[in-house]
């Protein structure tokens, strides 16, 4: 069964009778000001993907590591990693990107869902942490994670850290500590770069994990045009720096706006804010009736707000929030 994700503007348009192009989609954590993709070289669609096209070097430089595997979005690795391990116990956070739990359960592993705090003390053989967590925004420190990794590795365990939302705060990343036995870091080009449709992600790990994973996923996981765009985007340091600054400002602005209208976020990251409120469902509907799509979570009742882009969109959200009667 497919899990629910943000970004379902088509379904919202049908449900609320508002044309697709009239929506302000805040339901994902995808940067609305994506890396500007240039015109593609002539002939690029005709060429099979090449391992030595410079993508791996660009990614190693960007992440500060030496071993990685490009995959068709980090989702491809999330689905495949449970196949690489014999049945075992797995700890995950209760409120986190649900595809991890789904994948480990589907492959017959015994999954325990614990709180964002309890997970650091887990005695499971595999621990999966989303850092910063989506949607709670809990950011685990490098020292917390290295201590957990140290404990796991003594019992041949495995720590998987999903850093899909880490690009805004690279100084908190475990990427420079890879490759290390028993450690897997997942990265995505979908969020910070805003290139979710390109389906490019990376697995940072030791060779004993990368090699069987590559075999499992098969040849040519990423299309040549997507590899080309990813390589250029990852080398664009000026854009990285400017975008980090812009996202810091936007994230604070969003948190401030939500707080002003009684929706103080319980957590957030550079790409979203998370609001816990008992009336999340009715707030979600009130905003949707005005063509503003948020991501609704049932347990706990909460809403995730992605970043608006233009000033018009900020103003539109401001007006909609100011009109909510509670
Ligand atoms: C925490 C987290 N990890 C991984 C993914 C998968 O991203 P992608 O496959 O685009 O790299 C998502 C997508 O929403 C996510 O939220």
pLDDT tens digits along 234-253: 999 999 999 999 999 999 99
Q: Given ligand 1 and candidates 68, 73, 202, which is best to mutate, with the most ligand atoms within 8 Å of its CB?
A: 73
In ligand 1, the atom with minimum distance to the C-alpha of 97 is 1
Worst-scoring range by mean pLDDT, 5-9, 98-102, 254-258? Answer: 5-9
Helix or strand (DSSP H, E) at 10: helix 9-16
Q: How far is it, in rounded angstroms, from Cα 244 to Cα 248?
A: 6
Q: What value, to the nearest 5°, has the Cα angle with vertex 104 and ends 102 and 107?
A: 105
Per-domain residue ranges for the chain?
A: 9-29+238-322, 49-235
Helix or strand (DSSP H, E) at 280: helix 280-288
- Work out the average pLDDT over 268-282: 97
Summarize pLDDT for 33-77 with one digit per residue, the tens.
Answer: 999 999 999 999 999 999 999 999 999 999 999 999 999 999 999
* pLDDT at residue 69, as a whole number: 98
Q: Given ligand 1 and candidates 185, 190, 217, which is best to mutate, with the most ligand atoms within 8 Å of its CB?
A: 190
- For the chain, give the percent of residues with pLDDT over 70: 100
In ligand 1, the atom with minimum distance to the C-alpha of 74 is 11
For residue 105, the CA-to-ligand 1 centroid distance in Å is 18
CB of 65 closer than 8 Å to CB of 176: yes
Summarize pLDDT for 169-182 with one digit per residue, the tens.
Answer: 999 999 999 999 99
- As its CATH architecture, domain 49-235 has 3-Layer(aba) Sandwich (3.40)
Classify burial at 148, counting beta carbons within 10 Å of its beta carbon; exposed 0-12, middle 13-18, buried 19 or more. Answer: buried
Residue 207 in tokens: 């060779």
For residue 276, the CA-to-ligand 1 centroid distance in Å is 21
Residue nearest to atom 6 of ligand 1 (CA): 75
Fold match, 9-29+238-322 / 49-235: no
* pLDDT at residue 4, as a whole number: 82
Q: How far is it, in rounded angstroms, from Cα 295 to Cα 303?
A: 6
Q: How far is it, in rounded angstroms, from Cα 308 to Cα 157?
A: 41
Residue 252 in tokens: 């604070």
Enumerate the β-bridge partners of residue 202: 70, 187
Indicate the average pLDDT of the chain: 97
Summarize pLDDT for 77-101 with one digit per residue, the tens.
Answer: 999 999 999 999 999 999 999 999 9
Ligand 1 contacts CB of residue 200 (under 6 A): no
For residue 74, the CA-to-ligand 1 centroid distance in Å is 6
Residue nearest to atom 12 of ligand 1 (CA): 164
Q: How confident is the model at residue 202 (pLDDT cuts 50, 70, 90)?
A: very high
* pLDDT at residue 6, as a whole number: 85
Q: How confident is the model at residue 325 (pLDDT cuts 50, 70, 90)?
A: confident
* pLDDT at residue 5, as a whole number: 84
Q: What value, to the nearest 5°, has the Cα angle with vertex 22 and ends 27 and 312?
A: 80
CB of 97 closer than 8 Å to CB of 128: no
Residue for token pair 């400002």: 249
Give the CATH class of 9-29+238-322.
alpha beta
């Amino acid at each position: 069964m497919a899990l629910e994700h943000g970004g379902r503007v088509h379904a919202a348009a049908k449900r609320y009778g508002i044309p697709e192009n009239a929506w302000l989609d805040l339901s994902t954590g995808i940067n609305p000001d994506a890396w500007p993709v240039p015109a593609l070289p002539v002939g690029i669609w005709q060429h099979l993907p090449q391992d030595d096209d410079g993508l791996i070097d660009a990614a190693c430089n960007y992440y500060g590591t030496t071993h990685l595997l490009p995959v068709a979005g980090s989702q491809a690795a999330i689905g495949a990693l449970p196949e690489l391990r014999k049945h075992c116990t797995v700890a995950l956070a209760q409120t986190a990107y649900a595809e991890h739990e789904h994948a480990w359960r589907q492959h017959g592993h015994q999954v325990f869902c614990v709180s964002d705090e309890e997970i650091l003390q887990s005695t499971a053989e595999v621990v999966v942490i989303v850092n910063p967590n989506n949607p709670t925004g809990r950011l685990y420190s490098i020292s917390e994670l290295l201590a957990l990794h140290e404990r796991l590795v003594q019992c041949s365990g495995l720590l998987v850290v999903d850093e899909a939302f880490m690009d805004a705060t690279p100084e908190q990343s475990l990427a420079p500590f890879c490759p290390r036995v028993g450690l897997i870091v997942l990265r995505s080009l979908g969020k910070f770069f805003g290139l979710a449709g390109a389906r490019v992600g990376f697995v940072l790990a030791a060779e004993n994990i990368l090699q069987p994973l590559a075999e499992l996923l098969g040849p040519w996981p990423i299309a040549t045009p997507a590899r080309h765009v990813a390589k250029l985007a990852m080398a664009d340091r000026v854009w990285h720096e400017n975008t980090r600054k812009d996202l810091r400002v936007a994230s604070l602005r969003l948190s401030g706006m939500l707080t002003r209208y009684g929706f103080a976020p319980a957590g957030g990251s550079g790409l979203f804010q998370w609001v816990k409120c008992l009336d999340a469902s009715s707030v979600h509907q009130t905003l949707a009736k005005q063509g503003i799509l948020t991501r609704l979570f049932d347990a706990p009742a909460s809403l995730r707000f992605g970043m608006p882009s233009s000033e018009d969109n900020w103003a539109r959200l401001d007006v909609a929030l100011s009109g909510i009667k509670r």
